[in-house]
Each structure stands twice: as structure tokens, then as C-alpha cells.
Amino acid sequence: MINRIRDIRRQKGLTLAEVAARCSPPTTAQTIGRLETGMRNLSLTWMNRIAAALDVEPELLVRGEEPEQPRLIARLTDSGAEALSSPADAILPTALGGDGPLVAMSVETGAGEYRAGDQLWLREIEPDGFARQLNRDVLVPRPGGRFAFGRMIDRDEERIALLPPGPGQRQVVIENPPWLAVAEMLVRKL
């Protein structure tokens, strides 16, 4: 089994020393290097420590005999598309940085800037972080297992006001939501 520690570390722009310092308890850059190259056995304990340091799920660190993962092969810059010096595994959306868990929402009917077939990845936020989400698209739970989605246009201590996407929509007010999920990534088929 081949590990993906180096690919993930490089994609996140971290050095061996930075990953080592982020481990709990901290370790050495040399140890991380040995784990990356397979010179040291990647135990379950090490896998969990390094995954936490890289802010990814532990299973992303290992690659089995399954079909190849999608590859990151190029980047688009102001001068056009450029090949990467070395292709890397594309990191799944669950590896996005952030504190709360990710949830996803599919778009079945286009509305506003969202098209049918889009998939929206959102990060759950606790009530103490609501104020920083003004003018962002959010998904908010409602009573009875329902949800409201739209641009957060107002907030006070007890309520959140959303403006759903699309023309002619009316403001929706939700009382005391336990959490909300802010839009973080849009996946759209071409």
C-alpha cells in the first residue's frame, strides 16, 4: 500500500517541519519524511496523527489497489494553462480546510446563479460564527426536517433572514437555528 502523505502535504503548501509541528504530540521532520517515503511503517496511530495535522480524513493518506484517483495535472494562470511540474492526486472536497463538517446539496432546478445538476458543498457553522456569514449563501435547518437556502441578508440574536436565489423570491426568516452551513465550493458539470 502506497501512502499519499507527500502529495497532500505539498498540495497544502506545507513543509515536513510544519507537518511535524502540527502533529499532536509534535514530532520531527525526519520522522514525517520517513513515513512519507515508506522507510517507517505507517501505523494507524501515525495515520491519525498525520491526518489531523494535514486536516484531512485518515483514509486519504493511503492508496490501495483501486483504480487511480483523479489527478491534478495543470493550473490556470493569467498567462494561460500551465502543466504542473509533477502531477498530484486531486484532494477530495472533504479535505477542504475549516472547522465544521462538510455537507452537500444537489441543485435539481436552477435558481439564480445555480444550475440544474450543480452540487454545492457547504461547511457547517455554529451560532457563534453566524455574524461572519452575512452576504454569503447558506443552508439553514428548519423545524420538521426542512431547510431554507439563500443569501443571508440579516441576523440578530434570535433570527436569520435569507433571500432565496431567483427572481421574485420573498425573504425567509428562521428563528434560533442550531447551525447553518455556508457555501464553500460549487461543482458543476460542463
Task: At 87, list the grid cell.
Answer: 502531477
**Residue 46 and residue 11 in contact, taking contact as beta carbons nearer than 8 Å:** no
> Could you report the per-residue pLDDT of 78-107, keeping only the tens digit for each?
777 677 787 776 665 554 556 777 788 888
**Multiple choice CATH, 2-66, 1.10.3720.10, 2.60.40.1220, 2.40.110.10, 1.10.260.40:** 1.10.260.40
* The pLDDT of residue 97: 56
Residue 31 pLDDT exceeds 90: yes
Domain boundaries defined on the chain: 2-66, 102-187
CATH architecture classification, 102-187: Ribbon (2.10)
Q: Which residues contact 80 (CB under 8 A, 6 or more apart)?
A: none
How high does pLDDT run on average in the chain? 84
* The pLDDT of residue 3: 84
| Residue 34: band (very low, low, confident or very high) from pLDDT cuts 50, 70, 90 | very high
Lowest mean per-residue pLDDT among 24-38, 53-67, 152-166: 53-67
How far apart CA 67 and CA 65 sit, in angstroms, is 7
pTM (2 d.p.): 0.56
Helical pair 29-37 and 44-54, crossing angle rounded to 10 deg: 110
**Residue 44 and residue 60 in contact, taking contact as beta carbons nearer than 8 Å:** no
Residue 1 pLDDT exceeds 80: no
| Residue 19: band (very low, low, confident or very high) from pLDDT cuts 50, 70, 90 | very high
* The pLDDT of residue 66: 52
Lowest mean per-residue pLDDT among 14-18, 37-41, 86-90, 112-116: 86-90
